[in-house]
Amino acid sequence: MRYGQPELLFNKIGMHDLMYRQEQAATGAPAGINDNILLNTPTEDLVEELAEKYRLNVPVLDRSNAEAEHSEGPIEVYDYFSRDYGGSDARRTVQGSIVELTVPYTGDRGLFDVQPTTFDSGPPRAQIDGNHVVVRHSDRELKPEEANRALNGILDDIERYLTWQRATAEPFNERIKVRLREAIEARKVKVLKDRNSVANLGFKLKGRADAPKTYVAPVVRKKIVPTTPKPAAQATFKPEPMLDDQTYSEILKIIENMTLVMERSPSAFESMGEEDLRQHFLVQLNGQFEGAASGETFNFIGKTDILIRVEGRNIFIAECKFWSGPKAFTETIDQLLGYLSWRDTKAAVIIFSRNKDFSSVLKGIQETTDAHPHKKRGPTKDGDTRLRYIFGNPADHNREIFLTILAFNVPST
């Protein structure tokens, strides 16, 4: 017998008490973050990091990799004929057969001590040894079928308690993200107020008073890592202006609506290449917003297809490409990320497809984007053919890029 005696599980602390303590600790954690780290790190990255630390990670047994060990040793047995005249039970120690089953598990060891909100009067017994659960069956002699039934019965009881825990822990883990997000944002507001600054000043493009309303879109607001490196504490936060979400959505909607025209009138566009198609978007963008949109404009380390500049500031960058497979699409994303300077945070890739199987193209786009090493979160599906992602800037993953993939079927007549 290699392990200690089995102990009673799930009986030391109640689930409600644990959740209260965990939530109090989590919501107080943002107060201990260095101010500059707090302001330089995206809120969602902080949420994910702290949520992982304070979540309730209910253990999962890996019964498929359980290992059994048989040994002989002293065991306690009940001997009916050895009872005393007072009728008390007679127990004595004899040499017997012991089977220990060692089951790996993942999750928090401490939750084996927590009583779920649903429980019964007979919690299971087992030995928790590191990242293994050890259950034991003993008898005067080895009876394989009986031992197998007894050991699996104990594991079934443990699984039942873990299932009861999971029913409470999963909603808690989602709720803790909301509470963390609120606490982090509140702390950021306080720090910025103390510094008399405003973060992420939104540049909202001014619409033309005489613009036709064909492409005016409603406001679309959409809200899923590896832990990113934190900026040095001495790196002072500097608020930067950026294109606001509403205008970003309106620009995307203008592009989307222009492509719907192409889809409905394919004969007018089937002979056009990427450059010619891009010009149609530029006309519409300039027709809707005051400012300048230009093609093939030099930006940072390369040239891009569509760039909107306000007061000398690049606030929107996009690439237009025909779909030619996952490899070329990955290169397009890499090309766009290479064009972006540290200050550019709103971007799009516009993909045109003349393939007959457009559904296959959409699948390839999502699979390829999901596999990109700089993808942090997403996609948020703003439509059947529009996917919005959060990417990390290759030079600084704490600097987030809103990257929208718009895919359009431009059929040949």
Domain edge (last residue) among 187, 219, 247: 187
Give the H/E segment covering residue 298. Answer: strand 297-299
The pLDDT assigned to 326 comes to: 92
Same domain, 206 and 79: no
Q: Do 161 and 229 sit in the same domain of this protein? A: no
| Greater pLDDT, 75 or 207 | 75
Q: Which domain holds residue 126?
A: 7-187
DSSP string, 324-389: --HHHHHHHHHHHHHH--TT--EEEEEEEE--S-HHHHHHHHHHHHHT-TTEEEEEEEEETTEEEE
Residues 233 and 150 in one domain: no
Mean pLDDT of the 269-292 span: 73
Do the domain assignments include residue 1? Answer: no
Higher pLDDT, 224 or 350: 350
Q: Is residue 263 part of a domain?
A: yes
The predicted pLDDT at position 50 comes to 94
pLDDT, residue 300, reads 59
pLDDT band at residue 226 using 50, 70 and 90 as cut-offs: very low
pLDDT value, residue 80:
57
259: tokens are 């492509």
Which tops the pLDDT comparison, 355 or 300?
Answer: 355
The 8-class DSSP code of residue 226 comes to P
Six token digits for residue 274: 């990427």
**All residues at 6 or more sequence positions from 268 whose CB lies less than 8 Å from its CB, including other chains:** 262
Report residue 210: phi and psi, to 5°. Answer: -100, 10
Q: How confident is the model at residue 212, as a pLDDT?
A: 44
Whether residues 151 and 206 fall in one domain: no
Percent of the chain whose pLDDT exceeds 90: 38
Sequence letter at residue 28: G
211 and 158, same structural domain? no
| Eight-state DSSP code of residue 201 | -
Name the domain count of the chain.
2
| Residue 151 within a domain | yes
Is residue 274 pLDDT above 70, yes or no? yes
Higher-pLDDT residue of 65, 412: 65
Q: Is there a single domain that holds both residue 282 and residue 396?
A: yes
Residue 192 lies in a domain: no
Per-residue model confidence (pLDDT) at position 316: 81
Domain termination residue (choose one: 187, 211, 245): 187
The distance of Cα 242 from the centroid of its chain, to the nearest Å, equals 24
Q: Is residue 96 part of a domain?
A: yes
| Dist CA 182 CA 50 (whole Å) | 13
Q: Which residue has the higher pLDDT, 249 or 174?
A: 174
In a domain, 281, yes or no: yes
Q: Find, among 251, 246, 245, the residue nearest to 289 by Cα.
A: 251
The whole-model pTM stands at 0.60
Mean pLDDT of 92-104: 86
Is residue 235 domain-shared with residue 296, that is, in the same domain? Answer: yes
Q: What is the pLDDT of residues 12-39, one digit of tens each?
A: 999 999 999 999 999 999 999 998 888 8
Residue 250: per-residue pLDDT: 83
Q: What is the pLDDT of residues 342-391, one digit of tens each?
A: 777 889 998 988 877 888 999 999 999 999 999 999 999 887 788 999 99
Q: Which residues pair with 396 in a beta bridge?
A: 393
Task: Please report the pLDDT score of residue 233 as a whole number.
Answer: 46
Residues 150 and 254 in one domain: no
My answer on whether 32 and 165 are in the same domain is yes
Asked if residue 399 has pLDDT above 90, the reply is no
Mean pLDDT across the chain: 80
Q: Which of 74-78, 251-255, 311-315, 386-390 bottoms out in mean pLDDT, i.e. has the lowest?
A: 311-315
Whether residues 182 and 206 fall in one domain: no
- Label residue 84 by pLDDT band (50, 70, 90): low
- CA-based nearest residue to 213, from 282, 287, 291: 287
| pLDDT number for residue 304 | 65
| pLDDT band (50, 70, 90) for residue 144 | confident
Per-residue pLDDT at 97: 85
Q: How confident is the model at residue 294 (pLDDT cuts 50, 70, 90)?
A: low
**Which of 187, 211, 235 is the last residue in one of the domains?**
187
The answer to whether residue 114 sits within a structural domain is yes
Query: Is 119 found in the same domain as 92?
Result: yes
Q: Residue 194 domain-assigned?
A: no
177 and 210 share one domain:
no
